[in-house]
Amino acid sequence: MDKLKALARRKEMLSIAALVLLLLFNVFFTPGFFSLELKEGHFYGSLIDILKRGAPLMFMAIGMTFVIATGSTDISVGSVAAIAGAVAAQMIGGDFSAEAGSAAASLTPLPLAIAAALVVATLCGVWNGFLVSRLGIQALIATLMLQVAGRGIAQLITRGNVITMYYKPFFEFGTGYFLGFPICIYVVLAVALAAYLFSKKTSYGLFLESSGSNRSSSRYAGIKVQTMIWVAFAISGLMAGIAGVLIASEVKAADANTAGLNYELDAILAVVLGGNSMKGGRFSLPGSLIGALLVQALTTTIYMKGVPAQTILVFKASVVIIVGIIQTTDYKKLLGRFAKKQASGNFEVGK
Amino acid sequence: MPEEAVLLQMDNIDKMYPGVRALNKVSFTLRRGEIHSLCGENGAGKSTLIKILTGAEARDGGDVFLDGIPIFPRIPMDAQRLGISTVYQEVNLCPNLSVAENIFIGRQPRKNRWGIDWKKMNRLAEAAMARLNIRMDVADALGEYSVAIQQMVAIARAADTNAKVLVLDEPTSSLDTKEVRQLFHVMRTLKGQGMGIIFISHFIDQIYEITDRLTILRNGSFIDSGTIKELPRMSLISKMIGKDIAAGVSHKDGREDAQAEKKEFYSAKRLGKRGLISPVDMAVKYGEVLGFAGLLGCGRTETARLIFGIDRPDDAAIKVKGQRVRINSPADAIRCGIGFCPEDRKTDGIIANLTVRENIILALQGRYGMFRRIPFARQVEIANHYIKLLSIATPGCEQLAGNLSGGNQQKVILARWLTINPELLLLDEPTRGIDIGAKAEIMNIVVRLAAEGKAIVFISSELDEVVRCSDRVLVFRDRSLIGELKGEVNTRRIMETIAYSGQEEAGG
């Protein structure tokens, strides 16, 4: 019973409950939401769709979790994704005329192109981290620079063009299937597991939580708080890079203007929905992933209900407001009072 | 003194906070044209009394008379309207606005219904500053001037609202000597104009330089009041601290005999930082408890922070175990085997939303670094070991540290440092805000650690505790080291040193 209570008090519970509620809603009101079809050995359906479309967001949410745990935010992730996509596309090459149709080759070996994209994205994160941890610029402002400039950089890389790619192996990441499920889902799982192990099997998680909870105490305890923040931004850059490569692979092109657009807000939303406090400190990676799924499920549900796409932001905003209210201390107090009242109504109090 | 000279009279002021009696029938009288110091250590009730006077807090009992008329300020605005103005320690003005705007913010002279009469405002501001004998361009942004001038502007603003009473709360703490002169000059000018000034400062020299009379509070009670001549330094200090001069003898039984043979662990020459503390030469030996004594703000904490590398010393020659080292960050200090329990447990010590286990292993893990994680089972083992060793009262090592009582939190921080097995442990007010039982326990731990051969620096505002624990005491005053007491240390000698600059302490 105590274990159950402790489980119910875990911060991820709110997002899980919301996700379950949303799925329940779909059971009754969205016909065909849960149908899974097996076509040519691949599963198709809204659920698979949510996982697949939510993949870039989940990557970004992983990185954003670390950044938010330090009490900062990284609003450059969307632009960094665009840069990573542009680097990958530029190296793989988009010259259709030079090739004989669909059997186009890559200008650079594929692993090298992807590695280059991820290195560039990580460097973007290192830059952000430098601004925040070494120069002491507020995270919102520091990352705003790259958010704005990043798309310009991506355009410089692609020379202002939308680079369309024709090299098939690259598309596997975004569109391929393995054992009936999209490949990107496996990659999400693997990266999430790696991030989780990194936070738990090294002391990074502890240092991050202590730095985010109480900077001064952590410094006094000999923890290099600035370095921890720096690492968090680097991870966020790397994750945005993976997301950017995935997006490019999925749409088979690099568009500096639209790739990863507005993702930073969804990523922050996912992390907060996952029960993580914007003030920093304790964090939960599983929570953020569930938060990301919730955001994607909400988006998919709205589309499937035939709600005009323009109003989607209104729905997201409503969810944010509701969750925001639920997470405030005032609401928790109110809830606590309510629970107490119920207890005194149902049971004998005292002796 | 004729009756009409009394400007402000506070009679039998009572104030209760939940669980604490902050003020117990405190009386205070301020006369026209005098500078009156309000003296007391931490928790004496100075700030509560000021808050009641300025309407920031409501009083539970007692009367306040201004010019013989009872007043009931409910909010600071009320008090200001009545002529009671306050300048706080931190200048709370807007640095990006002009000097004139700062002086007249919220009450700018109007040209008509909509417009501000800028010319008139600047003219009035210039006049207000001129009254303090300061000529300046009042159209310049406030932030372009030094902190001292900003302070003057705050005073000008306060003095301009037809103030009768001016409260200056620690106005000199961020000023250098020259700027203090300037401030005192302004205070004397205002005093000459008949204003009553309440001056709060922890600099004893300044109190004796500028004030006419002083009132001493201790633990929320009125202790004494009188002119500077009636209250020489010695009796001021003993009244502030509340120790009978005769009392308080060292409780150690000949431990200091062994001091001579002990080896030096840490020594520093010219350890200081401009504006924080004047250079200090000091050394700590293995197995020795070195006490830092002095009043609030005397420089004892600042010195500890320099030793631990929280603030960077300007130019110091530091030796650890005879080797020259540089200590520029806490991590450096920890590498040298130094631990530090900070004065403010909540903001600098405990990490409230981590568990007791995580709090205890933090420094050790910090020393190991990110990639050599202490296995979980070992963490639990370490935490439980220290929970038992220091008898920390907690339901278990997975309890959030924020849920523990103050004394137990202090022990958790102590445990954090013991895990790295430090050779020098700096304890800044380790007994503050914890109950008597826990205090005695912590002091016993301190003595025990020294007996095990650790070097300890023990800082406390309770002279009794310093005397009881320490083998040797460094005495600080006004941000400098003024004396060292060896041998038979007692509270009387410490107080004499604080009072008389330490020239006469050699006799002992």
Q: B180 and B127, same structural domain?
A: yes
Closest residue in B to A217 (Cα–Cα) = B348
Query: For residue range B483-502, what is the model confidence (pLDDT) as tens digits?
Result: 888 877 888 888 888 887 64
Asked if residue A11 is part of any domain, the answer here is no
Pairing of β B221-227 and β B264-273 = unpaired
Does the beta-carbon distance from A210 to B354 stay under 8 Å? yes
pLDDT of residue B212: 93
Q: B314 and B225, same structural domain?
A: no
Query: Which token pair is A347?
Result: 């049971």
Q: pLDDT category, B284, cuts 50, 70, 90?
A: very high
- Interface A-B, measured as beta-carbon pairs within 8 A, has a size of 71
Cβ atoms < 10 Å from Cβ of A155: 17
pLDDT for B77 beyond 90:
no
- The minimal CB distance from A202 to the residues B334, B350, B371 is found for B371
Does the beta-carbon distance from B365 to A224 stay under 8 Å? no
Average pLDDT (B393-418) is: 88
Asked if residue B249 is part of any domain, the answer here is no
Query: For residue range B23-47, what is the model confidence (pLDDT) as tens digits?
Result: 999 999 999 999 999 988 767 888 8
Asked if residue B199 is part of any domain, the answer here is yes
Query: For residue range B172-182, what is the model confidence (pLDDT) as tens digits?
Result: 776 777 778 88
Average pLDDT (B199-221) is: 88
E strands, B32-163, are 35-39, 61-66, 69-70, 84-87
pLDDT for B226 beyond 70:
yes
- The minimal CB distance from A217 to the residues B331, B348, B368 is found for B348
pLDDT of residue A268: 92
Residues of chain A contacting B352 with CB distance shorter than 8 Å: 213-214
Q: Residues 201 to 260 of A: which have CB under 8 A from any B CB?
A: 201-204, 206-207, 209-210, 213-214, 216-224
Q: pLDDT category, B505, cuts 50, 70, 90?
A: very low
Three-state SS sequence of chain A:
CHHHHHHHHCCCHHHHHHHHHHHHHHHHHCCCCCCCEEECCEEECHHHHHHHHHHHHHHHHHHHHHHHHCCCCCCCHHHHHHHHHHHHHHHHCCCCCCCCHHHCCCCCCHHHHHHHHHHHHHHHHHHHHHHHHHCCCCHHHHHHHHHHHHHHHHHHHHCCCCEECCCHHHHHHHHCEECCEEHHHHHHHHHHHHHHHHHHHCCHHHHHHHHHHCHHHHHHCCCCHHHHHHHHHHHHHHHHHHHHHHHHHHHCEECCCCCCCCHHHHHHHHHHHCCCCCCCCCCCHHHHHHHHHHHHHHHHHHHHCCCCHHHHHHHHHHHHHHHHHHHCHHHHHHHHHHHHHHHHHHCCCCC
Average pLDDT (B408-430) is: 92
pLDDT of residue B506: 39
Domains in chain B: how many in total?
A: 2
Average pLDDT (B226-239) is: 86
Does the beta-carbon distance from A203 to B365 stay under 8 Å? yes
pLDDT for B338 beyond 60:
yes
pLDDT for B13 beyond 60:
yes
- The minimal CB distance from A217 to the residues B331, B350, B370 is found for B350
Does the beta-carbon distance from B367 to A207 stay under 8 Å? no
Does the beta-carbon distance from B330 to A221 stay under 8 Å? yes
Query: For residue range A112-149, what is the model confidence (pLDDT) as tens digits?
Result: 999 999 999 999 999 999 999 999 999 999 999 999 99
Q: B290 and B180, same structural domain?
A: no
When scoring A217, A276, A284 by the number of chain B Cβ atoms within 10 A, the one with the most, hence best to mutate, is A217
Highest mean pLDDT among A331-345, B87-101, B292-306: B292-306
When scoring A214, A215, A220 by the number of chain B Cβ atoms within 10 A, the one with the most, hence best to mutate, is A220
Does the beta-carbon distance from B349 to A220 stay under 8 Å? yes
pLDDT of residue A349: 33
Which residue range is the domain that position A153 belongs to? Answer: 43-262+277-283
ipTM above 0.85, yes or no: no
pLDDT for B443 beyond 60:
yes
Q: B296 and B163, same structural domain?
A: no
Q: Residues 7 to 26 of A: which have CB under 8 A from any B CB?
A: none
Q: Tell me what percent of the residues of chain B surpass a pLDDT of 90.
A: 34
Asked if residue A47 is part of any domain, the answer here is yes
Domains in chain A: how many in total?
A: 1
Three-state SS sequence of B249-308:
ECCCCCHHHHHHHCCEEEEEEEEEECCCEEEEEEEEECCCEEEEECCCCCCHHHHHHHHC
Mean of the per-residue pLDDT values of chain B: 85
Asked if residue B350 is part of any domain, the answer here is yes
Query: For residue range A277-330, what is the model confidence (pLDDT) as tens digits?
Result: 888 889 999 999 999 999 899 888 888 888 887 787 787 788 778 877 776 666
Q: Tell me what percent of the residues of chain A surpass a pLDDT of 70.
A: 87
Beta bridge partners of residue B29, listed in sequence order: B9
> Does residue B60 contact residue B18 with C-beta atoms inside 8 Å?
no
Does the beta-carbon distance from B370 to A214 stay under 8 Å? no
Q: B359 and B234, same structural domain?
A: no
Asked if residue B49 is part of any domain, the answer here is yes
Between B133 and B141, the more confident residue is: B141
**CATH number of the domain enclosing B361:** 3.40.50.300
Which residue range is the domain that position B161 belongs to? Answer: 3-241
Closest residue in B to A227 (Cα–Cα) = B370
Q: B137 and B20, same structural domain?
A: yes
Does the beta-carbon distance from A206 to B358 stay under 8 Å? yes
Asked if residue A20 is part of any domain, the answer here is no
Q: B278 and B217, same structural domain?
A: no
Where does a domain end: B217, B241, B265?
Answer: B241
Between B159 and B332, the more confident residue is: B332
User: For chain A, which residues score pLDDT lower than 50?
Assistant: 99-102, 341-351
